[in-house]
Chains A and B, each alone.
Chain A
């Protein structure tokens, strides 16, 4: 059976650095910054990986979800913690919709008898 074509291919993730082929200076700056961001600082590498996993779901990036699921496990997080992190991002994504309901209510109240 012919392999189904998709826009997303797991084999593309290890090729990420190829993005620097035409514009190496900017890629170099980005990857240096990226590496520094995820190094141990005031936050542990484990905590940073959990944040990255949550954001990966917010931006719905399958590459990031793949990479940071593995990173979270390898930094010592468990599935319950990772699931809670996704609930946090879900709450923050849902909250802005709901809080704009106040704007809706304000307008509706002004227009209504």
Chain B
């Protein structure tokens, strides 16, 4: 029988395989393309891998047993970096960022430094009954909430995110609505993120948003601002599930055959930089999960004088096919 440890080892070995698809870098060069930075306007802060959920599509293997969590000193360095770099958007993610003891201070200190401050939430950590102060803080600083809500179907949601999460999410969304979040003109933005609940790609965004809006309103009276459909990235726990279920090769081929050269210009890594819980920089959260440092060089946030230079190199690997398949990117 495979133990969790041996399964992890097998997957670690397999993750180096290209599983029957051309290397991403070769596909780029085959189309005469380079992936270099444009002007970097977004700072993503990953405060750690601690999470109250163990979602099966998580590219970071986040969960309750993870110890990596941004400490106070690193928070200071990240805030200081944001202050000297003048980003337009700051995007706080995890793990479940609500579980980081420094989250309140991070929000307070980041808020004046960017016109848009976002918090990615799994909804269950936010609404666990112990975070009334955080709710108040989010509202006070008009933090944009980007909430995971994969499916309108309870079975699909719970199979991806854990038993009972669908009902908890509905309850949390109702609470946010009651605070004003998601209502047009309130200035409190509530966006939903839907990831496919298996080895398939997400639906077309405009139609899916229309359907989510109608069903959430009709069934539960819930409103929101925007829905984002993101494809799952074949890393971490999701990659392990793809291997275990025999779907990895087919999924990778689906992503690589959907390579859209026009999408390369719009991928998020061209305009954002991601800082991890320990202060090191990456081109995106997926490269962070893979351990691919920004531009292939290990640089700490304390060493940076400003945003990465335009035209600088972006590190790539085969998971990058996720962001260039069709029009999906995160």
**B151 — nearest CB in chain A belongs to which residue?**
A78
A46 within 8 A of B: yes
B208 within 8 A of A: yes
The 8 Å CB contact of A74, one of B155, B201, B211, is: B201
With A44-B207, A46-B207, A46-B211 as known contacts, state yes or no: A79 contacts B153, CB within 8 Å. Answer: yes
Q: A44–B204 Cα gap in the complex (Å)? A: 11
Q: Check if B196 sits within 8 Å of A73, measured CB to CB.
A: yes
Main secondary structure of the interface of B (DSSP, over half): loop
Residues of B within 8 A of A81 (CB): 153
CB A77 to nearest CB in B, in angstroms, measures 9
CB A13 to nearest CB in B, in angstroms, measures 12
CB A10 to nearest CB in B, in angstroms, measures 10
Q: Check if B200 sits within 8 Å of A73, measured CB to CB.
A: yes
B202 within 8 A of A: yes
Q: Check if B200 sits within 8 Å of A78, measured CB to CB.
A: no
The 8 Å CB contact of A45, one of B152, B202, B207, is: B207
Most chain B CB within a 10 A radius of its CB, from A40, A46, A76: A76
B156 within 8 A of A: yes
Inter-chain CB contacts under 8 Å: number: 35
Residues of A within 8 A of B203 (CB): 46, 74-76
Q: Check if B155 sits within 8 Å of A76, measured CB to CB.
A: no
A107 within 8 A of B: no
With A79-B153, A79-B156, A80-B155 as known contacts, state yes or no: A74 contacts B207, CB within 8 Å. Answer: no
Residues of A within 8 A of B208 (CB): 76
Q: A61–B134 Cα gap in the complex (Å)? A: 54
Q: A76–B211 Cα gap in the complex (Å)? A: 9
Interface members, chain A 84-113 (any B CB < 8 Å): none
Residues of B within 8 A of A79 (CB): 153, 155-156
Residues of B within 8 A of A40 (CB): 207
With A44-B207, A45-B207, A46-B207 as known contacts, state yes or no: A74 contacts B202, CB within 8 Å. Answer: yes
B198 within 8 A of A: yes
CB B155 to nearest CB in A, in angstroms, measures 7
With A44-B207, A46-B203, A46-B211 as known contacts, state yes or no: A78 contacts B153, CB within 8 Å. Answer: yes
With A44-B207, A46-B207, A46-B211 as known contacts, state yes or no: A74 contacts B200, CB within 8 Å. Answer: yes
**B206 — nearest CB in chain A belongs to which residue?**
A40
The proximity string for A residues 37-72 relative to B, scoring 1 for CB distances below 8 Å and 0 otherwise, is 000100011100000000000000000000000100
Could you list 11 examples of A-B contacts with CB < 8 Å? A73-B196, A73-B198, A74-B196, A74-B201, A74-B202, A75-B204, A78-B152, A78-B153, A78-B156, A79-B156, A80-B153
A interface residue numbers (CB < 8 A to B) = 40, 44-46, 70, 73-76, 78-81
Which 4 pairs of residues, A with B, have the shortest CB-CB distance? A78-B153, A76-B203, A73-B200, A74-B200
